[in-house]
Every structure is written in structure tokens, then in C-alpha cells.
Amino acid sequence: MLVGVGGGALTDLVGFAAATYLRGIALVQIPTSLVGQVDAAIGGKTGVNLRSGKNLVGAFHQPIGVLCDFETIATLPERERVGGLGEVAKCWLLEGGFAAELNDVSLHDLIVMSVTLKAAIVSADEHEGGRRALLNYGHTLAHALEKVALARDGDELRHGEAVAIGLAFRRQVGGGVGSGRQQRSGATRRGAGLFWSQSSSPRGLSNVITLGSHGAR
């Protein structure tokens, strides 16, 4: 058995090792970051990055258990906590919530909501043949930005930060999913304000979006 203890990148790596060693061994994940608890350690997607894209080497390998200790979140640097809210906001929006309401919900409840949503979707569509694709919301631009950032500085942009930008961009361009599009779009931009402004669109945006299609989610 392998046990992964750490953030999302580490649980991804340990998951991939468990999937490939002896053609698959038991895995337990203990994510200690916000992104790890609400996203990376749940659902069985494992992978590592290549220079040509994110998560291009990986496998589906479900853990036999995921243990989330909420107290570890309090030990994280502020940037890790705030950045992790990108994935939380994605789940909140998929559940029909408004970004402006996020501050009124406790972090504990947001984590439970995110884990519950992802577990339900993955249980119905483990290998992303349909509904699981919803969990990629905001990730096309996010992965493209991550690839550009990684080529310059591995610490320039975290995954949750990139997702927050991707969500704001997706809502701005496409109007979002579901009803109340204009109201939700404005609320999303305000909720992702730490990472996005209309005046800070990436240069060569069409090229960046093209890069986003080269990574695996």
C-alpha cells in the first residue's frame, strides 16, 4: 500500500506510482492542501506533467480511502488558502451558487460541498465519458496559463489561481452555465478579483487557449 500525504501535486504523483507499481496497488490519500482536499486527491485521476502539457502521463486509479483533516488548512500560507478557493468556487458555481455568496459560507461547509459534488459525479462517470467533464469547467484557459507560467517560474501561478482566472474568463466570454447568466457572470468576476481584471488579459490569448487544449484534465 502507498499513502500520499501532502498537496495536490504530491497526491497525483503518489497515485500514479500506486497505479503503475505491480500493475496497481492499494492507495490511501491524505491531502493537506485545500486544492488537494477538494479536487486532486478525489476521483482517481493521477498524473504528472510533461513539458508539452499538464497531466499527460497518468492513469485512473481510485484510492481505497481519502482522509481530509480540516485543521491542516489553518497551517497553510495565505496564498495556498486563497488560491485553493478557485476549485471551491468551481464546485459552488456548478451547484448553482453565486460567487458573491461564498464569503457567507464557512470553509468547512465549502469543503464538504466540493467533496460531495465531486464524489457524486465521479461515482456516476469514473472515466469521464460524460458528466465528469463538468469538473473541467474553467480549466482550458487555466491549464494554458499554467503551462506558460511553468516555463518561466514554477511558483508563478498555482493551479487554484489559474482555475479562478479560467472561471472568470469563461463566465465573461460564454456567460456561464445555467440561468441568471449576467448576474452570475458579474459575481464570478468579483469573486475571482484577486486573479483577474478586464485589463489584464494574457497576451496572445488565442495562442494561450490553444495551449490549453494540449493538456489532459
Active site residues: 23, 45, 87, 118, 128, 132, 136, 139, 143, 159
Task: Please check whether residue 32 is in contact with residue 67, taking contact to mean a CB–CB distance below 8 angstroms.
Answer: no
Helices (H) and strands (E) in the chain, counts: 8, 5
Q: Which residue has the cell 500520499?
A: 4
Burial pattern 64-96, b for ≥16 Cβ within 10 A else e, equals eebebeeebbeebeeebbbbbbbbbbbbbbbee
